[in-house]
Amino acid sequence: MLISDPNLPDWLQWLERCESTSTWAIQHPDLLQHGDVVYTQQQTAGRAQQGRRWYTPPGGLAASFILDNLSASQLTGLSLVAGLAVIYAIEDLLPDLEHQLGLKWPNDIIVQDCKLAGILCEAISSRRGSRVVVGIGLNHRVEFAAANLTPAEVGHPISLHQLCPDSALPNQLTLLERLRHYLGQASALVAQGSGIAAFLPALRQRDWLLNRQIGWQADAASSADPAGLVTAQAAGLDDWGRLLLRQTDGHLRAVASGRVVKW
């Protein structure tokens, strides 16, 4: 159910509760336009890449941002660009964190070697044309021990409130406004046709995996399947946002999908 409040900005679609803000946005395309944000404080079945679950315990921020006029050919690397927008939004509000946040290919925000946020970009069609729904899950004020989540469920998380004084912590509505601002700027540049080229210097500067020994796994591989795991050195990003893997024989391999399961 949508929360109706004349004090809320007209771009905000606030749901009292939902399974997933991105699922809701995909199911209700005609209710949304470019720049709208679908938000809830009670997300019960959030989605991450490759069908995995994104857990949103109390204190987590769950929102999906509507970006129109992006074609399928412009989607490569968009989760990285969206990650950069998340970093800029947080640094805007918490300047003491400047240059502390990194991007873990393809869609995670890392600080102090822990996961602060995750991103899922999904392309759909609407009556307004091509559209991307950018789902963002951010640990805002989460007490992980109280949430009874195991490390296997949430990885190595950290919450924004652990990184700043309580008096400096922005509220979720302020975060949503800043995230919307930077995602709007980023999508406008991508829509001009240059793809992610304008963002590559900043993306490479924030590349948290660079020079690490990692394990990469193709989308179709099972996480329990050792044969599907490639061990290599992360060697940066190519011009299309693909992850470069330096293999044991010295050759570079560029991968556009899959996930990093060890680092």
- Per residue in 30-42, pLDDT (tens digit) is 999 999 999 998 8
pLDDT for 221 beyond 60: no
Q: Are 245 and 262 in contact (CB under 8 A)?
A: no
The span from the CA of 218 to the CA of 221, in Å, is 5
State the Rg of the chain over Cα.
Answer: 18
The residue-averaged pLDDT of 31-60 equals 79
* Helices (H), ranges, the chain: 21-27, 78-93, 151-154, 172-189, 200-205
Place of tokens 């046709």: 193
Q: What's the whole-number mean pLDDT along residues 192-200?
A: 86
Q: Which domains, ranges and CATH numbers included, belong to the chain?
A: 12-205 (3.30.930.10), 213-262 (2.30.30.100)
**In angstroms, how far is CA 49 from the centroid of its own chain?**
10
Measured CA to CA, the distance from residue 46 to residue 133 in angstroms comes to: 14
Report pLDDT digits (tens) over 3-18: 767 788 999 999 988 8
pLDDT in tens, 89-127: 999 999 999 999 999 999 999 999 999 999 999 988 777
DSSP notation for 142-163: --TTTTT--HHHH-SB--GGGS
Res 178: pLDDT: 98
Task: Band the pLDDT of 199: cuts 50, 70, 90.
Answer: very high
